[in-house]
Amino acid sequence: MLVTGDPVPGVERARGPFVELIRHTLAGAWSGPLAVLDARRGELPALADTTALVITGSPESVTSRAPWILAAETRTAELVRSGVPALGICFGHQLLGQALGGLVEANPRGREIGTVELERFADDPLFDGAPPAFDANMSHCDSVTRLPEGARVLARTRLDPNAAVRFGERAWGVQFHPEFDGEVMRGYVAARLDRLVAEGIDPGALATSDAPEAARVLRTFARLAGS
């Protein structure tokens, strides 16, 4: 797992870092070893012994072009092009998109936060057994606004037309957080309260609930990566 950031402080204190949220959501679906590397410290997965890759979310922005982000993009592109199964979550989704030749920018539709409806419009093994529309938990300001060549959009939301993308034969990105349940989502809304009000978003109007179908996507990826 490639760590690229930490949850908001209140969530991290209550529930742990992204690694623990993802472990909890996997619920034993991945039986192999789980190495944890922190891209911010220059730790990157080796090409020779990486069997699958999950890239976490982050409060950082891919658009900053920080040196550690550039290094992570380069290694991620190498892994994907060598056939390593990869799943990018939120920031990780954006990092994958940029690394493979797309473009990440501030979402022209504004911040997306809370439990939102995800509309599928393409079949894909990552969504095996999922209904045509289901709830997913979001917290982002940036988006993949231009897809890499050959990428295929799998799902969208009202504010993000590229909410789930298949970037390659075994590489996917989801703008939503499959590891977020309702409690975590409420923690994010509380942490962003002042910003939401300043942006004209009514925090009381935001849905914050469990999203079991979105959570299942993480376990499905583990199954696909292990097959």
pLDDT in tens, 56-113: 999 999 999 999 999 999 999 999 999 999 999 999 999 999 999 999 999 999 999 9
Q: Where are the domains of the chain?
A: 2-226
User: Does residue 13 come out as left (phi exceeding 0), alpha (psi in the -120 to 50 range) or beta?
Assistant: alpha
Alpha helices in the chain (DSSP H): 9-15, 18-26, 67-81, 91-99, 182-191, 193-198, 212-226
Q: Which pLDDT score, from 0 to 100, does residue 166 have?
A: 98
Active site residues: 90, 177, 179
Q: What's the predicted TM-score (pTM) here?
A: 0.97
Q: Which pLDDT score, from 0 to 100, does residue 97 have?
A: 98
- Report how far residue 188's alpha carbon sits from residue 81's, in angstroms, rounded to the nearest whole number: 34
Give me 94's structure tokens. 């954006």
- Report how far residue 74's alpha carbon sits from residue 70's, in angstroms, rounded to the nearest whole number: 6
Q: Which pLDDT score, from 0 to 100, does residue 92 have?
A: 98
User: Check: CATH 3.40.50.880 for 2-226?
Assistant: yes
Each residue's pLDDT, cut to its tens digit, for the chain (227 residues) gives 999 999 999 999 999 999 999 999 999 898 878 899 999 999 999 998 899 999 999 999 999 999 999 999 999 999 999 999 999 999 999 999 999 999 999 999 999 999 999 999 989 999 999 999 999 999 999 999 999 999 999 999 999 999 999 999 999 999 999 999 999 999 999 999 999 999 999 999 999 999 999 999 999 999 999 87
Please report which helix (H) or strand (E) contains residue 65, including its range: none
How would DSSP label each residue in 11-56?
Answer: HHHHH--HHHHHHHHHTT---S----EEGGGT----SSS---EEE-
Sign of the Cα torsion 34, 223, 139, 45 reads positive
- Report how far residue 164's alpha carbon sits from residue 157's, in angstroms, rounded to the nearest whole number: 9
The size of the chain, in residues, is 227
Q: Residue holding tokens 């529309």? A: 133
Q: Which pLDDT score, from 0 to 100, does residue 28 have?
A: 86
